[in-house]
Amino acid sequence: MFKGGRGTGKGEFDSPAGIAVDPNGNVLVADTNNGRVEKFSPTGTFVTSIGQFEAPNGIAIDRAG
């Protein structure tokens, strides 16, 4: 599903530790060692990165998204 690999670039991960799917089918991944959450479309295309967290290791989404 995801085309990235290990690294710090868009769509890449360094110790992903949490994953969640929002009501629209987007996939959000807590990218622990990069200190961010990355968002992907339902088809696996990178959408955006939300960042500067201190080692996120989980993620949860409610019905509102």
Query: What global pTM score does this model have?
Result: 0.85
pLDDT digits (tens, 9 = 90+) for 38-56: 999 999 999 999 988 899 9
1-65 CATH choice from 3.30.450.40, 3.30.70.980, 1.10.150.130, 2.40.10.500: 2.40.10.500
Q: Where are the beta strands (DSSP E) in 1-65?
A: 16-21, 27-31, 36-40, 46-51
**Torsions phi, psi of 33, nearest 5?**
-75, -15
pLDDT digits (tens, 9 = 90+) for 10-38: 989 999 999 999 999 999 999 999 999 99
Residue 36: exposure state from Cβ atoms within 10 A (0-12, 13-18, ≥19): buried
In the chain, where the domains are located: 1-65
